[in-house]
Structure 1
Amino acid sequence: MSFRLSLSNSYVRSCPSDLGAAKHRGVNARGKRTSRLRFGSWNVGTLTGKFLELCNALTRCKVDIACFQETRCTGKSSREENGYKLWYSGAPKSINGVGIIMTERLKDFVVQVERHGDRLMLVRLVIQEETINVISAYAPESGQGAGEKKNFWDSLDELVRSFPVDQ
């Protein structure tokens, strides 16, 4: 099963899932009923003071999981509100920052959260027999040094390579 996550701002994609509570959409190759998960990615510029506004936008677009970049959140924590749970990771100063948010119905399927600095994080969900790895990545911009860019791409490559082949 292929899961796709858009890397363009505010773009939504969907993928198959076996969530029993969701509306029936068809039958997969294993004969199980399937539904859709809707994914999004958004460079928010800042998440400060925008959480409820972003939750409302995600609800309107029926997005189940979204990755945020340039959150400018400080520290590493999570937050629940308005039917969504957000995990975020940021620098001690309000720069960069990434986050992953999902609907309340999905939060109990989360089995792992890995924060890799203020530019990279992973949330792993297990839904029935399927594992979904969601990565929020905020690549260094053109004005950043070559060393910082190399470290970012090496870290992302290492994270992706750490997934078991059968996932």
Structure 2
Amino acid sequence: MVVKGREIVDMMQRRKIKALCVQETRWKGNKAKISAEGYKLLYSSASPESRNGVGVILHRELQEEVCEVSRVRTMYVKMMFGREMVTVLTAYALQVGCSEDEKEKFWRDLDGVMVGIPENETVIVRGDLNGHVDGRKGGEERWHGGWGYGERNEEGRKIVDLQWLLI
């Protein structure tokens, strides 16, 4: 975490953010780094040569609570909050230059990760899923706060379908 990382940590400190999910990262590989301020970055790139990855930045208070980290195109961190297991999942759905097969593989992988999380765990999903869900009403605003954009496209439909898995 160099210049941009410093800016992110400064923002996290100002806003008192303890965990932050990031996408479209430029870090290569599957690693963890600690900044001078004690924040820990856990990250994963889509492949060893890729720079389009995901990560989770944790305040030092949360670092001891990490029980498990899984690094695939979707990355999750399991942590204990009191007596509750919480899974924080971050994902980045690549779009530009990707074939339909690659896109479908991403959604299958994400679905596989979701199905593998026990029902008694709280799941927080964050990411850049590259879809338009639109601002429809009828219960869906619970998931996007009514801030949807554009007309719903195929990726937006997949996002909404994923959200209903979480109910």
TM-score range, shorter chain: 0.5 to 0.7
Question: Which structure: greater strand fraction?
Answer: 1
* Aligned residue in 2 for 1:88: 43
Structure 1 outlier segments of 4+, above 6 Å:
none
User: Given the alignment of the two structures, is residue 111 of structure 1 paired with residue 56 of structure 2, yes or no?
Assistant: no
* Aligned residue in 2 for 1:153: 107
* TM-score using structure 2 length: 0.67
Give me the identity figure in percent.
36
Q: 1:83 to 1:48 in 2, by over 3 A?
A: closer
Provide structure 2 residue ranges, at least 5 long, that are not aligned to the other structure: 122-167
Offset, 1:60: 1.1
Contact 1:48 1:72 in 2 (8 A): no
Residue 84 of structure 1 aligns with an amino acid whose one-letter code is Y
Contact 1:122 1:136 in 2 (8 A): yes
C-alpha separation in 2, matches of 1:122 and 1:104: 18
Question: Which structure: greater helix fraction?
Answer: 2
* Aligned residue in 1 for 2:55: 99
User: Given the alignment of the two structures, is residue 76 of structure 1 paired with residue 30 of structure 2, yes or no?
Assistant: yes
Q: 1:114 to 1:77 in 2, by over 3 A?
A: same
**Partner SS for 1:121:** strand
The aligned length equals 119
Q: 1:153 to 1:78 in 2, by over 3 A?
A: same
C-alpha separation in 1, matches of 2:97 and 2:30: 26
57, 77, 82: which one pairs with 1:123?
77
* Aligned residue in 2 for 1:66: 20
RMSD: 1.5
